[in-house]
Chain A
Amino acid sequence: TMSSSENPSTSLFREYLRIRTVHPDPDYGNQFLVRVAKDIGLESRKVKLSSGRDILVMTWQGTDPKLKSVILNSHIDVVPVYEDLWTHPPFAAHKDEAGNIYARGTQDMKCVTIQYLEALRQLKSDGSHFPRTIHLTLVPDEETGGHTGMELFVDYPEFKDLNPGITLDEGLASPTEEFSVFYGEKCPWWITVHCRGD
């Protein structure tokens, strides 16, 4: 591999891509994320939900903690693959000569999780301090609707205790020069049709 000369942020991203947090049975062991948090110097804790799933919360305390916080949210899970349709194995995080990294989760959304973490690592090592507290929330099961993850978590006192101000969450890639920013979204509306015979 090129790991000896590779940017450490890229190496960390590729390491995360190799963890099979893929449905229907995602590896939610989270040791990797807890280790990275510790390495950066972020407190991390788990909130256990009634679904049996955990939310991982990492916190960088602000200098004025009564102010509302900045929440950097990302989901850990990824959708399944049809492996035979991939040119590179989807959990190998192969990087080609053009610098393209192939893996399930490169766009949705392990990139964002590592970008949040590496941005915080830089800011911490620069000696930055901010008035507002920054929380990272790492959640399960977004790809199956969030019913066992974020949908439950927002009703927990532990969520309110984050004192949420603004939350950043995933967007989408953009094929042009522009960057998409989403300020709302379409809501799912499930319709059940019963067809009764005679």
Chain B
Amino acid sequence: IDESYPWWKAFSKPCNELGLKLKPEIFPAGTDSRYIRQAGYPALGFSPMNHTPILLHDHNEYLNEDVFLRGIHIYNKIISSLASVPAFDEEL
């Protein structure tokens, strides 16, 4: 990840301010993001669930309410930041 890329900066800055430890990774399976990336648009895969066992597609899939509610706050800050990115050269 290019730390100077405006979208990444706008994503990671509020996360840092909230004290979130981010771990950039390659997704181990396939999501709809691959079609968006293939069409030439950047996409980030992020679900704000830490301290949570990975139970997608599994029995007893669950999420703790406090983790869920904190996620709303996290998105509040991330969305605000992304939607406020000033026009930058590569996008025009």
Residues of A within 8 A of B (CB): 7, 9-10, 13, 62, 64, 67-68, 70-73, 75, 79, 81-82, 85-88, 90, 95, 98-109, 111-112, 114-116, 118-120, 122-123, 128, 130-134, 139, 142, 145-146, 149-151, 153-155, 159, 164-188
- The answer to whether A95 touches B65, judged by C-beta atoms less than 8 angstroms apart, is yes
B contact residues, total (Cβ < 8 Å): 68
- The answer to whether B60 touches A115, judged by C-beta atoms less than 8 angstroms apart, is no
Among B11, B34, B48, contact of A187 (Cβ-Cβ < 8 Å): B34
- Decide yes or no: A185 and B30 within 8 Å by CB, A109-B47, A178-B50 being known contacts: yes
- The answer to whether B43 touches A169, judged by C-beta atoms less than 8 angstroms apart, is yes
- The answer to whether A180 touches B23, judged by C-beta atoms less than 8 angstroms apart, is yes
- 9 cross-chain CB contacts under 8 A: A9-B72, A101-B63, A102-B60, A108-B56, A111-B71, A132-B85, A182-B26, A183-B24, A183-B25
A153–B55 CA distance with the chains assembled, in angstroms: 29
Among A85, A116, A123, A186, contact of B26 (Cβ-Cβ < 8 Å): A186
Among B22, B65, B84, contact of A178 (Cβ-Cβ < 8 Å): B22
Which of B1-60 touch A at CB < 8 Å? 1, 7, 10-11, 15, 20-39, 41-57, 59-60
- The answer to whether B33 touches A179, judged by C-beta atoms less than 8 angstroms apart, is no
Which has the most chain B C-beta neighbours within 10 Å: A81, A155, A170? A170
- Decide yes or no: A169 and B61 within 8 Å by CB, A118-B72, A123-B79, A188-B30 being known contacts: no
Instruction: Write the nearest CB–CB distance from B61 to chain A, whole angstroms.
Output: 5
- Decide yes or no: A85 and B59 within 8 Å by CB, A154-B36, A187-B34 being known contacts: yes
- The answer to whether A165 touches B61, judged by C-beta atoms less than 8 angstroms apart, is no
Residues of A within 8 A of B32 (CB): 73, 75, 139, 142, 146, 149-151, 169
Instruction: Write the nearest CB–CB distance from B84 to chain A, whole angstroms.
Output: 6
